[in-house]
Structure 1
Amino acid sequence: MDHHRDIALISVSIDLGAGRRGVDMGPSALRIAGISREIEAIGHGITELGTVTAGGLETTDAGQHELRFLDEIVHVAEETRELVRKGLARGCTPLVLGGDHSLSIGSVAAVADHHRSRGAAIGVIWVDAHADMNRPATTPTGNIHGMSLAVLLGHGEPQLTSGRPSVVPENVSVLGARSLDGGEKRLIRELGVRVFTMSEIDERGVGACMDEALERASAGTAGFHLSFDVDVLDPRIAPGVGTPVRGGLTYREGHLVCEKAWRSGKLLSLELVELNPVLDHRNQTAELGVGLVASALGAAIL
């Protein structure tokens, strides 16, 4: 395993894909909480690639009810894709700070493109209280952050899917789900995406579930992208999220997921999304997020 890497740090300031304001400030909160310092303390270098900033809600056309702010989200996804592409071309490991989960439409696509050009596929481990597998016909809100994984699997609005899937269901797992819509459940069954619910995690343990997710993500691939939505954590330890759902991962379970991602030796890229400082208490969720990123990049107890 390469213990020292150059990390391409990218901020994506967007909350247009979400239902509540504030996650556009997530990257700033993570930086205030010392994310660069923590990464360098592990022994990695940092290459700053810049910030993608979405238009403001007040000045941006919301568009269709079932695809709110589509045009601006497409624009942000393309800019994110370009920055992640640039980081990969330099031999860096991309780390994207969000921002709402719609940014993954750009980040994961870039990683998939990069490895596809070398004849390889990638896997995805989507650590989230939600599956984000709605489509325009099934969305209860029109919020595109709830469609991101469906888009990456090639389902949904053509302007977002760009005509080809970034990943195949056999290499995708959702870990920590506890709030699924009816349309999502149908698509999950239809495609065969593996969803580890909190009930299964309670019964089997997060370690066993993560091992299975890693096996799926790594089977026949160059490695995997880790997409970590902080709302997967229990709101009692992570209050700074826009869509909290009771009964999430504990502090140690969250760290174990990230530690296992690093120890697998297959981590290609990662992102931390949906941190909402407006709803946080004294930046505690951001500080927790920094610790999780550090674990995913090799910080260890011993």
Structure 2
Amino acid sequence: MRIVRLSCGILLFCLVMGGLWGNTVPLQAQIPLPTATPDEDGIIYAEVQVDDSLWAIANRSRIRLDELLRLNNMTEESIIRVGDLLIIGYLTPPATETPMPTVTPTLSPPTPTFTPHPLPETAVCLRAYVDVNQNGIHDLEEKLRPSVAFTIFTENAVVANYVTTGVSEPHCIHLEPGTYQITRSLTQDEHLTTEGNMAIVLHQGDMLDLAFGGYIGPTATPSNTPEPMSLTAAPESTPRLIGGKAITVTAVPAPEHEGDSEANGRASPILSTALSVLVVLMVAGVIFFVVRMRHG
């Protein structure tokens, strides 16, 4: 009986001692570790403790080991010492409210000066002028002519219309590359010194400046100087580019000489006589052939 009591006492003692031993915690674990907080720059550090390792610091900071190594530019073989501060993350600082800029009143800008619009890439520029000296050239002292109506058209349709002001010319009109006819209006008693109808050919990037001259008054007295071959516009012909203008050249036929007329007059009766003889011979041949067939 005494032995049983002794055994029970020993068993009870073992159970009590085992429970106390299981509840004991190492001294290091009982010491609370410092909490990692960000500094003024938002960098979060973890301080190396006694018997600490990179694995333990990464596990305690809840980040991966490779992330810890990357943040501190280290490898797994790097040596750490107690008290070292290792970066375990960054804290984005809260956005500070930016004060609204103070609106400073500014003086009104100066009145903008007139800037001409850039000319279109492909265009024809039109102007009409009073050709005082009637030389077909727009001289500097010759004024622009207002109220002249221009029409630009193709073989299919009218493309543009413009009436001159006598101030804002030359007036440039944007056109697509192609072939066009340009004609201008003519007032009573007005005589043209340039072509009033022109055919032009525009290529990409062409800028044609066309000046149309004329004057009001009696027709100028022709001089003894031989007149140059006249140039007239013909829509059905192929225009050629002459002096920056595309116009159609049509030659005026030269008059016949008197000698040529007389020679032609003498040749006409001879030709008529020859044709008459030929006709008579042909008729006689036919009659002879018919008579022979009957008597044959």
TM-score (norm 1): 0.19
Name whichever structure is richer in helix by fraction: 1
Pair member with larger Rg: 2
The structure, 1 or 2, with the larger RCO (C-alpha pairs under 8 Å, 6+ apart) is 1
TM-score, reference length from structure 2: 0.19
